[in-house]
Structure formats: C-alpha cells, structure tokens
Structure 1
Amino acid sequence: MKKKKISKIVLISIILLVIVLYFAVPSFNATMKNFVTQLGSLNLDAVIELIRGYGVYAAIISFILMILQSVLAPIPALLITLANAAVFGWWKGALLSFWSAMAGAALCFYIARTLGRDYVEKVVTKTGLAKVDEFFERYGKNSILICRLLPFVSFDIVSYAAGLTPIKFWDFFIATGLGQLPATIVYSYLGNLAGSTKTIFIAIVSVVALSALVYMIGKIYNDKKKANKSN
C-alpha cells in the first residue's frame, strides 16, 4: 500500500512537471503542439518529415512521439510505425517502433494501475474502455494477446484497461510483445516500400489477414485440446 502511494505521488509529480513546462516554457509548448498537430493530421508524409527533420536525434524524437501517442490514446501509432520504416529502413524502423510501443504500453499500464479508473476514463472515454472491458470478460487471460493481434482494437485503450485488472505486469508485457511483433514487422516492411495511403491500406489488410489466420489456428488448437480432455 505504501509503495503504491509513493508511485502515485511520483507519477502525479511528473504529470504536474510536464504541465508546468507546457505553460511556462514557450519552446516546449510549441514543440508539443507541433507533435500533436502533425500526428493528428494523419498525414504520413508530414510525420516522416517531422522525424527526419531532427537529424541525428530522429530516433529519440520518434521514441518520444510513440510515447506521446500511447498516453493520448486517440492518436494512431500506425503513422509513426510507417514513418520509422521510411526514415530508418524497415528492420531498424521495426525495432524502434516495437520497443517504443512496448515502452508506451508499459507506461499506460503503470498510469492506470497507479491512478485508477476515474483518470483512465478521462483519457480514453467510458465507452471505449467499456468495450475493451467486455472483450476482457469474454476472452479472459488470452485477452491481451488476442487484442494485440487485432489491428482494429485500440492498442492504447487495451494497455490502460489491462492496468485496471489483476493481471501481472510481466504477463501483460509478454503477451503485448507476442501480439505486437507480427503487426510491427508487416507495417514496417510495407511502410518501407512507399509512404502513401495505399501503403497504409495494404498494411492494414495484411495484418488483419495474418491476425485472422493466427486466431483461427489458435481456436482450432484450443478446440482440439478441449476435445482431447473430454475424451
């Protein structure tokens, strides 16, 4: 209990510090507004130029952008993943996207577990959180892995929602990694081919198809396992 209280104080202090910097430091304010504006525009070319414009610090900026989009759930991570592939090449971009997304997921989980449901609902909305809650109730301990394999399920809301459940952090982290890796590889490879809306469409279709295949194989395996137990 004492450890949780300390964590809450630390987290709130960090949030307050960011708020103070945002309103008190003009350059920080302008940079954050620019980041959110570029990501919110859903313009892949703009995000690519934003990251590339920081030169040797491009990877660090990309990492920060992924963390930012994780905390601000409505902003899509797909744009950053595709942009990373275009800027750094597909495999380097995939590594950067994967580990920055994992860091973002861990942060969302930590925030939810520390600050509770009331705070999370303000970030992701009650409706979005309720839908993920239903998914968790339906699929139980396999929910995290299944959610990560399905690109139409919000990555960030799942991370927040998981932090509100009794699931252990490492179980959440490993399931997130296993589910996130295929999507990151596919998005990064296709993003390296061309930066366009067509690429995004192809990437999404490919991941949906791959996810459906993985899900069907898993369902067949589980059904057979249950059948063997009943015999």
Structure 2
Amino acid sequence: MSKKASYILTGSIVAGLIILYFAYPPFQNFINETWKILWSNDEDKISAHFESFGVWGPVAIIIVMILQIFLVVFPSWLPMIVAVLAYGFLGGAMISIAGVFCASTIAFYIGKWLGDEHLRKIIGSSKNKKVEYWVSNYGFWTIAIFRISPFLSNDAISIIAGMLGMTYRKFIFATLTGIIPLSLAIAYFGRNTDKLKNGLYWIGGAGILIYAIYVYIDHRKRKKETKQTG
C-alpha cells in the first residue's frame, strides 16, 4: 500500500467513526452505553453486554480499542479483559491481538501523516534528536516493551514511531512481539482480578527492568566504541 493510500485509508476510518457517532444515534447510544458499562467494574454486566451482540461482539470490542486511541485516560488493557470475560481464553486473546493490531496501525499512520516536523514543534529540536536516537537504536524493543507493559502509553509510542519514519513492517512486528504475550497473560489471568493485577505488575515490571539493563549495557558499549574510534 502506498503512503498516500495509507493516509487516505487511516483518515477515512477515523473520520467515518467520528461522523457515525454524531450522525447515527444508535451508534452513539452504543458507544455511550458501552463506555458506561466498561467503567462499572461489574464483570457479569460487562460480559453479558458484549455477548448480547452475538457475532458482532468482537467487532464492537475492536471498535472500542480503536476509539481508545483518542481517550488516553482510558486503560488500553480494559477492552482486552472484556474480550476474555465474554469469549474465553483463546477467543479473548485473538480479539485482543486483532484489536491492538488495528488500533496500532491507525495510530502509526496518524503519526506518519503528522510527520517529524509536528513532533519537533511539540518537544523542540534538541529533544527531538534524542527521541530520534532512541527510536533508531532501540526502536524495536522500545515498542515491544511499551506493548507488553500495560502501564505505558501504547498509542503515544505508535504515533511517535510513525512520526519518526519507522517502517511499518518493523513497527507492527515489534507491536506483535509485545502484545501477543500480554494478550495471553491477560487471557490467562483475566477471570481472576487479584491474579490479573499481580500478573500485570510482574509482566510490566520485569519487562521494563530487563529493557533498562539492556539499554544501559548497550549504551555504555556504544560510548566506549565511540571513544575508541574518536
């Protein structure tokens, strides 16, 4: 798919969802009701709500995950738990992976559309260079860790990756590398809230720790090589 076609497709999806929300009352009611139920913390009510949609239930969850791009205060892992509650281990994991795939792709191409100049205006040239260095050297594993840790901003890293010109193939492979184990973990622990919280903390914490150690060792190695060549 060409860049132009990608931008058009991404923009059309986003614009279509926004127009549909304001122009079609049943869709607006569905979104409002779903949001209210998701925040109710009533697992039985959440599960029953999505099961009532039948074959359209998974589509509804994926739409919620896409809309979550624009609502950063809404936890990205909540729709994944909903998928598990409604469709079990395997079905919930597959829906979660599909939802993150779609949402990440849209966020990535939004970043592509905004471009590097937009990021430079937001954070300044000096910080932009640091971010470029980080993405160019550690971009793959940065995205993977952001995906595997439920407490980091998945959508922000997707948009930034697009802004800085990372290839889509590298980006989506890194996304799947992180989101598949997270989806399986949430699917495994999803029906036990206490186990889920502990599991997410362990997964996110361990991933960040391992990543920090890797970056520290690699950064020191790079600095040493630079001094030797200089």
Given the two structures, how large is their TM-score scaled by the length of structure 1? 0.73
Q: Which has the larger displacement, 16-25 or 181-190?
A: 16-25
Give the length in aligned residue pairs.
Answer: 215
Aligned mates of 1:44, 1:119 — CA distance in 2: 41
Matched, 1:94 2:93: yes
**2:191 pairs with 1:206:** no
Contact 2:111 2:162 in 1 (8 A): yes
Equivalent residue for 2:61? Answer: 62
Shift, 1:89, TM fit? 1.5
AA in 2 matched with 1:110 = Y
Partner of 2:190, secondary structure, is helix
Q: 1:170 to 1:13 in 2, by over 3 A?
A: closer
- For 2:197, the aligned partner's letter is F
Q: Tell me the equivalent position of 1:72.
A: 71
Residues 90 and 115 from structure 1, CA distance in 2 versus in 1: closer, same or farther, beyond 3 angstroms? Answer: same
Corresponding position of 2:41: 43
Q: Evaluate the alpha carbon distance shift between residue 16 and residue 139 of structure 1 in structure 2; reply closer, same or farther with a 3 A threshold.
A: closer
CA displacement 1:19-67 (0-9 Å, x = unmatched): 433233221221222233334x262625333322212322222222222
What is the alpha-carbon distance in structure 1 between the residues aligned to residue 26 and residue 156 of structure 2? Answer: 30
- Asked if structure 2 preserves the Cα contact closer than 8 Å seen for 1:149 and 1:180, the reply is yes
Please give the root-mean-square deviation of Cα atoms over the aligned residues, in Å.
3.6
**Structure 2 counterpart of 1:111:** 110
Residue number in structure 1 paired with 2:175 = 176
TM-superposed CA distance for 1:16, in Å, is 4.2
Matched residues in 2 for 1:38 and 1:118: separation?
Answer: 40
Deviation at 1:8, TM superposition (A): 4.6
Partner of 2:189: 190
Deviates most, 84-93 or 210-219: 210-219
AA aligned to 1:169 is Y
Q: Percent same amino acid at aligned positions?
A: 26
Q: Structure 1: give runs of 5+ residues left out of the alignment.
A: 121-125
Structure 2 stretches of 5 or more lacking a match?
Answer: none
Q: In structure 2, what is the Cα distance between the partners aligned to 1:75 and 1:47?
A: 16
1:90–1:113 Cα change, 3 Å? same
